[in-house]
A and B are shown apart, each in its own frame.
Chain A
Amino acid sequence: MGTLDKATPLAAIVGAGRTKFGELWYTSPEKLLWEAGIQCIESVDHGLGRRDIQACYFGSFLYQVTNKLGLIPGYMSRELGIDVPISMTEAACASGSSALYDAVLGIRSGKYDIVLVGGFEKMTDRYDKIVDDLMFAADPHEFDAGFTFSGLYATMMVRYMHEYGQNDERCRDALAMISCKNHHHAMNNEYAQYRREFSVEDVNRSTLVADPIRLLHCSPISDGAAALVLTTPEKAKKFTDTPIYIIGSEQATADVSLFTRDSLTSIKATRLATSKAFSETGLGIMDIPLAEVHDCFTIEEALFLEDSGFYGKGEGWKGVYSSYESFKGSKHIPYASGHNELIVNAGGGLKADGHPVGATGIRQLFECFKQLRGDAGKNQVSVDGPLNMALCHNIGGTGGIATVHILERNLK
C-alpha cells in the first residue's frame, strides 16, 4: 500500500462522452467518433466550444481494414470543423488508452491546455472477416498456426488452469463467474451492448469457441466510440467544479507473440505498467476501490487481479470464486482480499458493455469519470466512504502493450 502523499495530478478530465456500443450498422466510424466527441464537448459543465480544442489524440485499430479509411486527422478535421493538430495511435485493443497516454504527455509538456481524446472502432462492417483481421495484433506465425484471438487466450487459460487450477472445477467456474459478474454490472448501463444476466451454468454450457473458451467468456464484436476532454490540473476548475484528475499514466510493452514470453499465465506489460503507475502515485492496488480492467476474455481479468497484486500468483481464481459465491447484495459484486474490496468493471467491462477495440481504452475512463463524479445514475457504485479513486487497465493484443491510468477526484 502506498503513502497517498506523492500523487501529483498530471492532467484533468473535464468532459466525457460515448456512443452506445453494439452493432451500429447505420453509421460510419468517423460519424461515431464525431458523436462521442461532440457529446464529450457538450458535457463540459461550464461550457466548451469546438474551437477551444487545441489538439486531438485519437486511437483506433482496424479502421484502414474494416472501412478502407486512412488519414483520420483529415476526416476528423472535416467532421468536427476544426483544423488543429490531430494524431492517430494504433496499439490494437490499447489504441484508445495509448492515445490518452500521448494526450497526457501533450498536456504535461505545456504545449496544450485543452485536448480532445477519442477512441473508436467499427467492427461489424466486416463481420465475416473480423476474426481474421483481429489477428493483426498477433504474430503472423500465430495466425499461420491457425490461432484466433480466442485461441490465444484459451492457450493462456489452459496453462493457467493447469498450473493453478489443478483440475479443480471451481477454477473453471471462477472464470465463468467473471463473465456473470460483468453481465450483472451491465444491467443498469444504458450504453452497454448486452444487458442480460447469465448464470455460471449458462457460461459453461455456451458454445465452445476455442476450447476451453466458450462464447460467454468472450467480449463481443462491437462498434462504438468514446471521448474525453483533458485540460491542465490548474485550469480544470474553470471548466467544471468536479474535474477528475489523472494522477498516474503509464504504459509498458512486451513481446507481441505469446510463444516468445517467459510465462503464459501473467502479462508482463500489465505488471510493468501497473507497478510504474503505483510508483508514480505512491499508491498500491489496495488503495483502489474501483477498476476498469481489460476483460477481453475472462481469463484476462483473472490475470490482472494477480498481475496487479490484488491476489497472489495463482490465487486469482480462488478470490474470484469466493467473492462471487459470498456476495449477497444486488448491485456491484466486489472482489474481496482481506479487508479490501475492489469493484471491477462497474459498467460491464469489455464482456458486456462491448469491445469496439479502439474505443475501449477511452470508454474505461468515461465509466470511471462518471462513477467518481457520482454521475453514473442507476449504475452508481457504492463503497464504504467516498469513492475517490479508480484505475483503468487496457491491454493490446495478448499483452504486447498495457496502459494503466489512475484517477482521483479529490486531490490529497
Chain B
Amino acid sequence: MSEPIARRNILVDYRINTTRCELCGKTYFPPKSFCDREGRASKMSQVDYFYKKGSFFSGAAINRSTNKFSHLDSYISAVITFDEASFMVPGRITDYVPPSEKLDVSEFIGKSVIPRFRKTYADGSDGMVYYSSLNFSFEDDYYPYQEYREVKPSEKGDKPGIVGYGVYIPKFRIKNEPESQGVKERALPFADEDTTTFAVEAGKRALLHSGINSRYVKKCFTGSESAPYAVKPMMATVSQALELGEEYDGGYFSGGIDSQFACKAATDLFVDAAALVSYPVFDGEYVMVIGADNSQAAPGDALDYTVGAGGAAYLFGKRDVIATLDCYVPYTSDTPDFYRRQGEKYPKHGGRFTGEPAYFKHVVTAMKAALEKTKLTPKDIQYVVNHSPNARFPYEAAMNVGFSKEQINPSLVVAKIGNLYSGSSPTGLASVLDIAEPGDKILMTSYGSGAGSESYLFTVTDKILEKRTRSIPVKQQVDNPHRQYVSYATYRKWKEMN
C-alpha cells in the first residue's frame, strides 16, 4: 500500500467514519459526498462509529487467506450491521480463533460486536503497519462494551492530578508452570495487537472513564520500549484514533511525543502532564500519558517467563481530579542493568545485577526521599505501588521501606498479567485507584533500567467514586473468565508479530 492510500484509509478506518444524509437519514460507508436518494438536495454530515456496537450479519471462517493475512492462520471475516441494518461494514472478528473442528458460522448471526482498533497487516518488517477499527470482538466475550457519555466538567479547576485512567490487558494468557518469581500467568498480544493498539485501547478507556471531550486533550505522551516503528510516533496514531485536540483539516491541534526510558518511559511524564495543565502558555485542559508495552524478552531468557503485555493511560487536568499529584521525587544514575541496542530485537540484562544496585537502590532511594519530603511515614499512606518486573521485587522494596503486605498487595497484578514494562507501575496504580477511597494516599514508584526511578504521592478525592461506574477495573480484566490460555509456541509467535 502506498503512503497516500494509507493516509486516506486512516481518515475513514480509524474511527469507522460514515456520512449521513440529514434529509433521509441514509448512512454511507465508505463515506459519500452525496445521497443516492436525495441527489443534489443532499446535505451530508459526518458520523463515526468508534464508540458504537454493531451486530454480526453474516461471515465466513477463512481457512485459506490472502497472503496479507496468512499470519493469522484461520479467522472469521464478516459483514457487520450498525443502527439496525441501516448500513453495513466489512470487518474481521478479532480475539477469536475458530475451532479446528466443525464450525457453524450462522450461529454468530445477530450477535453483538464491538469495534476494536487493531492491526490489519504490515508491509513486511520494514514497511508500514496499518490499523483500523473495522475489527470486532463479540460483546459476550472478553471485552465489555462501554457507551461513551460526555460529562460536563466542573466550572472551576483546582490542584492538578489524575482526571481519568484506563487499563487495557489483552485477552490471551500463558501459564507459568512452575511460576517464575511469583509470576503465575501472563498476558500476551493477540496476533493483530501491538503496543500502538494497546495504547489506543487504554486511551479510549481513559476517555470513557473521565467522560471528557477528547478535543480538550492538547498533549499526549506515549511511553514504551516496544513501539512498532523506530521512527514514526505512536502518539500520532493515538491522537488520530482518539481525536485528541481540536480537529482541523484531518489533523488535530495537539502535540506530544513518544518517550523511552525502559519501564518508566511514561510515568516520569506524569509530573510534566500535571505541570503543563497548570502552565498558562500551554492553554490546554488535559494531557494524556500512556505507558504500554508488548514486553520483549529473548526466547528462553529468564525474562521470557515474566514478560506480559498491555498498557495504561492517564489523563491529567485540573477539573474533576480523582487524585491530586502532591509530590515528585526522581532519582537517576548511569547504571547499565538492562539495555537493547538500536536494531536489536531483544533486550540484554545483567542478571542478578539488575536487582541490588539497579532496581532496589533506585526504587528505595526515591521512596525514602519522597517520605522525607512529604514528612509522611508508611502508616500515613494507604497504598504503595512499585514497578513490578516480577512479584518479588516490588514486595521486597516495599518491605524495605517499612510498608506492609496489605499496602503493597493490591497493586501486585504482575502475578497474573506479567511485567508490562512501561505499563507496569501505571497498571499497578490503576488497580489501587479501582478500590481507593477519598482521602487515601498512594505512593507510586516507577523504575526504568539504565537507570532511574521516581516516586509520586497521590491523594484520592471524592470524585473517584462517581467516575468509578465508568471504569473497567484491572481486577475484572485480570480474572476475566473469558481470558484464554495459549501454548508457549503460540505465545512466542504472536509476541513476535509486534
Most buried by B among A139, A159, A210, A212: A210
> Once the chains are docked, how many angstroms separate the CA of A261 from the CA of B107?
22
Which residue of B13, B28, B92 is within 8 Å of A146 (Cβ)? B92
Contact (Cβ within 8 A) A145 B58: no
> Once the chains are docked, how many angstroms separate the CA of A142 from the CA of B28?
15
Contact (Cβ within 8 A) B77 A155: yes
> Once the chains are docked, how many angstroms separate the CA of A155 from the CA of B57?
9
Given A146-B75, A212-B105, A258-B90, check contact A158 B30 (CB 8 Å).
no
* B67 contacts the other chain (CB 8 A): yes
Residues from chain B with Cβ under 8 Å of A152 in the complex:
60
- B80-118 to A contact mask, C-beta < 8 Å, 1/0: 100000011111100000100001011001000000000
> Once the chains are docked, how many angstroms separate the CA of A194 from the CA of B367?
76
What is the distance, in angstroms, from A205's C-beta to the closest C-beta of chain B?
A: 12
* B381 contacts the other chain (CB 8 A): no
Q: Chain B: which residue is nearest A134 at the CB level?
A: B66
Contact (Cβ within 8 A) B13 A264: no
* A383 contacts the other chain (CB 8 A): no
Given A139-B90, A144-B134, check contact A151 B62 (CB 8 Å).
yes
Contact (Cβ within 8 A) A128 B60: no
Contact (Cβ within 8 A) B57 A209: no
Residues from chain A with Cβ under 8 Å of B66 in the complex:
131-132, 135, 143, 146, 148
Which residue of A131, A155, A208 is within 8 Å of B58 (Cβ)? A155
* A211 contacts the other chain (CB 8 A): yes
* B137 contacts the other chain (CB 8 A): no
Contact (Cβ within 8 A) A150 B64: yes
* B132 contacts the other chain (CB 8 A): yes
* A260 contacts the other chain (CB 8 A): yes
* A129 contacts the other chain (CB 8 A): yes
- A111-143 to B contact mask, C-beta < 8 Å, 1/0: 000000000000000001101100100011111
> Once the chains are docked, how many angstroms separate the CA of A13 from the CA of B145?
61
Which residue of B63, B67, B88, B121 is within 8 Å of A211 (Cβ)? B63
* A257 contacts the other chain (CB 8 A): yes
Residues from chain B with Cβ under 8 Å of A155 in the complex:
58-60, 77-79
* B120 contacts the other chain (CB 8 A): yes
Given A143-B68, A155-B78, check contact A210 B89 (CB 8 Å).
no
Contact (Cβ within 8 A) A211 B103: yes
> Once the chains are docked, how many angstroms separate the CA of A126 from the CA of B279?
60
Given A145-B134, A212-B105, check contact A129 B62 (CB 8 Å).
no
* A259 contacts the other chain (CB 8 A): yes
Contact (Cβ within 8 A) B132 A144: yes
Contact (Cβ within 8 A) B106 A162: yes
- A151-179 to B contact mask, C-beta < 8 Å, 1/0: 11011111101100000000000000000
* A213 contacts the other chain (CB 8 A): yes
Given A145-B77, A264-B58, A264-B79, check contact A259 B88 (CB 8 Å).
yes
Which residue of A129, A141, A213, A260 is within 8 Å of B60 (Cβ)? A213
Contact (Cβ within 8 A) B59 A131: no
Q: Chain B: which residue is nearest A212 at the CB level?
A: B105
Residues from chain A with Cβ under 8 Å of B78 in the complex:
145, 155
Contact (Cβ within 8 A) B130 A144: yes
> Once the chains are docked, how many angstroms separate the CA of A347 from the CA of B106?
33
Contact (Cβ within 8 A) A211 B132: no
* A198 contacts the other chain (CB 8 A): no
* A147 contacts the other chain (CB 8 A): yes
What is the distance, in angstroms, from A344's C-beta to the closest C-beta of chain B?
A: 25
Q: Chain B: which residue is nearest A143 at the CB level?
A: B66
Contact (Cβ within 8 A) B58 A141: no
Interface residues on B, range: 35 or more
Contact (Cβ within 8 A) B120 A144: yes
Contact (Cβ within 8 A) B61 A208: yes
Residues from chain A with Cβ under 8 Å of B61 in the complex:
154, 208, 210-211
- B16-31 to A contact mask, C-beta < 8 Å, 1/0: 0000000000001110
What is the distance, in angstroms, from B432's C-beta to the closest C-beta of chain A?
A: 40
Given A132-B68, A148-B65, check contact A158 B60 (CB 8 Å).
yes
Restricting to A21-71, which residues have a CB under 8 Å from any CB of B?
none
Contact (Cβ within 8 A) B58 A162: yes
What is the distance, in angstroms, from A221's C-beta to the closest C-beta of chain B?
A: 12
> Once the chains are docked, how many angstroms separate the CA of A143 from the CA of B67?
11
> Once the chains are docked, how many angstroms separate the CA of A144 from the CA of B92?
8
* B465 contacts the other chain (CB 8 A): no
> Once the chains are docked, how many angstroms separate the CA of A129 from the CA of B103?
27
Contact (Cβ within 8 A) A159 B90: no
Residues from chain B with Cβ under 8 Å of A154 in the complex:
59-61, 105
Contact (Cβ within 8 A) A258 B79: yes
Residues from chain A with Cβ under 8 Å of B88 in the complex:
259-260
> Once the chains are docked, how many angstroms separate the CA of A394 from the CA of B28?
28
Residues from chain A with Cβ under 8 Å of B68 in the complex:
132, 143
* B257 contacts the other chain (CB 8 A): no
Residues from chain A with Cβ under 8 Å of B132 in the complex:
144
* B401 contacts the other chain (CB 8 A): no
Given A143-B66, A144-B13, check contact A151 B60 (CB 8 Å).
yes
Restricting to B204-227, which residues have a CB under 8 Å from any CB of A?
none
* B69 contacts the other chain (CB 8 A): yes
What is the distance, in angstroms, from A373's C-beta to the closest C-beta of chain B?
A: 40
Most buried by A among B57, B59, B65, B79: B79
What is the distance, in angstroms, from B442's C-beta to the closest C-beta of chain A?
A: 43
Given A132-B67, A146-B65, check contact A212 B89 (CB 8 Å).
no
Contact (Cβ within 8 A) A147 B63: no
Q: Chain B: which residue is nearest A258 at the CB level?
A: B79
Contact (Cβ within 8 A) B92 A145: yes
Restricting to B114-148, which residues have a CB under 8 Å from any CB of A?
120-121, 130, 132, 134
Residues from chain A with Cβ under 8 Å of B369 in the complex:
none
What is the distance, in angstroms, from B28's C-beta to the closest C-beta of chain A?
A: 8
- A178-210 to B contact mask, C-beta < 8 Å, 1/0: 000000000000000000000000000001111
Residues from chain B with Cβ under 8 Å of A150 in the complex:
60, 64
Residues from chain A with Cβ under 8 Å of B497 in the complex:
none
Q: Chain B: which residue is nearest A156 at the CB level?
A: B58
Which residue of B69, B90, B106, B120 is within 8 Å of A259 (Cβ)? B90
Contact (Cβ within 8 A) A162 B109: yes
What is the distance, in angstroms, from A383's C-beta to the closest C-beta of chain B?
A: 37
Contact (Cβ within 8 A) A208 B105: no
* B72 contacts the other chain (CB 8 A): yes
Q: Chain A: which residue is nearest B121 at the CB level?
A: A144
> Once the chains are docked, how many angstroms separate the CA of A141 from the CA of B78?
11
> Once the chains are docked, how many angstroms separate the CA of A150 from the CA of B89?
18
What is the distance, in angstroms, from B494's C-beta to the closest C-beta of chain A?
A: 16
Given A145-B91, A155-B79, A264-B58, check contact A211 B65 (CB 8 Å).
no
Contact (Cβ within 8 A) B90 A211: no
Residues from chain A with Cβ under 8 Å of B121 in the complex:
144
Contact (Cβ within 8 A) A142 B90: yes
Contact (Cβ within 8 A) A208 B77: no
Contact (Cβ within 8 A) A147 B90: yes
Residues from chain B with Cβ under 8 Å of A146 in the complex:
62, 65-66, 69, 72, 75, 77, 92
Contact (Cβ within 8 A) B60 A212: yes
Q: Chain A: which residue is nearest B132 at the CB level?
A: A144
Write 22 A-B pairs (CB below 8 A) sorted by A numbering. Answer: A128-B67, A131-B64, A131-B65, A135-B66, A142-B77, A143-B66, A143-B68, A144-B13, A145-B91, A146-B65, A146-B75, A146-B92, A147-B90, A150-B64, A154-B61, A155-B60, A155-B79, A158-B109, A161-B106, A209-B63, A210-B64, A211-B98
Sorted nearest first, the 10 A-B pairs with minimum C-beta distance are A154-B60, A211-B61, A145-B90, A159-B58, A259-B88, A132-B66, A210-B60, A146-B92, A146-B77, A151-B60
Residues of B participating in the A interface, judged by any CB pair closer than 8 Å: 9, 13, 28-30, 57-69, 72, 75, 77-80, 87-92, 98, 103, 105-106, 109, 120-121, 130, 132, 134
A161-B106, A258-B90 known, 11 other contacts, Cβ within 8 Å:
A132-B68, A141-B134, A142-B90, A144-B13, A144-B132, A148-B64, A155-B58, A155-B77, A208-B61, A210-B60, A211-B105
